[in-house]
Amino acid sequence: MDSTTTQAQQPIGVLGARSMVGRCVLSQLAQAHLQVHAFSRQASEQPARDGVVWQQIPAAPVLGPADAVAIPWWICIAPISALPAHFTWLEARGARRIVALSSTSRFTKDTSSDPQEQGIAQGLVNAENQVQAWAQSRGIEWVVLRPTLIYQPGQDKNVTEIARCIERFGFFPVLGKAHGLRQPIHAADVASACIAALQSPAVANRAYNISGGETLPYRSMVGRIFAAQGRVTRVLSVPLWMFKLAVALLRCLPRYRNWTAAMAERMNRNLVFDHTEATRDFGFQPRAFTPQQETTSPATQLLSNQ
């Protein structure tokens, strides 16, 4: 199969198109002048722009209309646990190849001290297994990508939350030495990996871990965020009991309801994953950690306004 010819002739469907990574995917596909059908849970009355047609994901697993455009190639940025609900619909839309985004959390949270996090890890495992079994039974090619900590300054829930804490308080609390290694991966690099995997026939029916282009201790990652703000690094080491108390109080606020003390415990664990197979098979080349606030490109801004 000539992937370049196929992509030029066939439309590409994107599930979860309004997400942080989804917007990056749309921007990159639009810049490549490819025909894209962007799906989200919200209805959109926006006209097609830059080859991107917006549509709403059906609320139930229903067949598409008889005159619906066949979409053989799919990128799923929506939570992989939500994908099984759309299997019937994807088949009806003519899916022949799908790239689904999972997470390395299936490995890092499976032994968490928090039962809810253990459930998240098991949910990822179950969803990956479902995607694989469904695709194989229907003759659909599948690729699962598992990124590490995803960031995009000003938009993510990881690096941006650290930055906001620093802006508000002028310091950042860590547990102990916070020497656990991290590999933050930029949202645009995750998007590039999704597109490259979609285009590469040699990677069919495989799962890949994808990580950032730099490995650094958690404390150093925080220090890099201080530097991006032009501030002197002020990291405060606190005991676990204090973290647990703070988290218990913060969880009363909707914004922090998903925070756990286990998040602090992982500050001293190495969460490192090798991405050499992704580099070898579809040319994955992530950037170093760059927490600086970026200027939004015109293409990205256009797609974000949909």
Q: Are 285 and 194 in contact (CB under 8 A)?
A: no
Instruction: Please tell me whether residue 45 adopts helix, strand or coil conformation.
Output: coil
What pLDDT score does 285 carry? 97
What pLDDT score does 67 carry? 52
Residues 154 and 32: their CA atoms lie apart, in Å, by 26
Transcribe 14-34 into DSSP letters. EETTTSHHHHHHHHHHHHTT-
For residue 115, what is the domain's CATH number? 3.40.50.720
Q: Are 177 and 219 in contact (CB under 8 A)?
A: yes
What pLDDT score does 298 carry? 35
What pLDDT score does 60 carry? 60
What pLDDT score does 2 carry? 44
Rounded to an integer, what is the distance from CA 87 to the centroid of its chain? 20
Q: Are 170 and 222 in contact (CB under 8 A)?
A: no
CA-angle at 207, arms to 108 and 142, nearest 5° = 135
- Cα torsion 304, 5, 96, 98: sign: negative
Listed as ranges, residues in the chain with pLDDT below 70 are: 1-9, 43-50, 59-67, 293-306
Q: Are 184 and 158 in contact (CB under 8 A)?
A: yes
pLDDT in tens, 264-301: 889 999 999 999 999 999 999 999 999 986 644 433 43
What is the domain count for the chain?
A: 1
What pLDDT score does 295 carry? 46
Rounded to an integer, what is the distance from CA 257 to the centroid of its chain? 20
- Classify residue 68 by its DSSP letter: P
- The pTM (predicted TM-score) of the whole model is 0.88
Residue span of the structural domain in which 218 resides = 3-304
What pLDDT score does 113 carry? 86
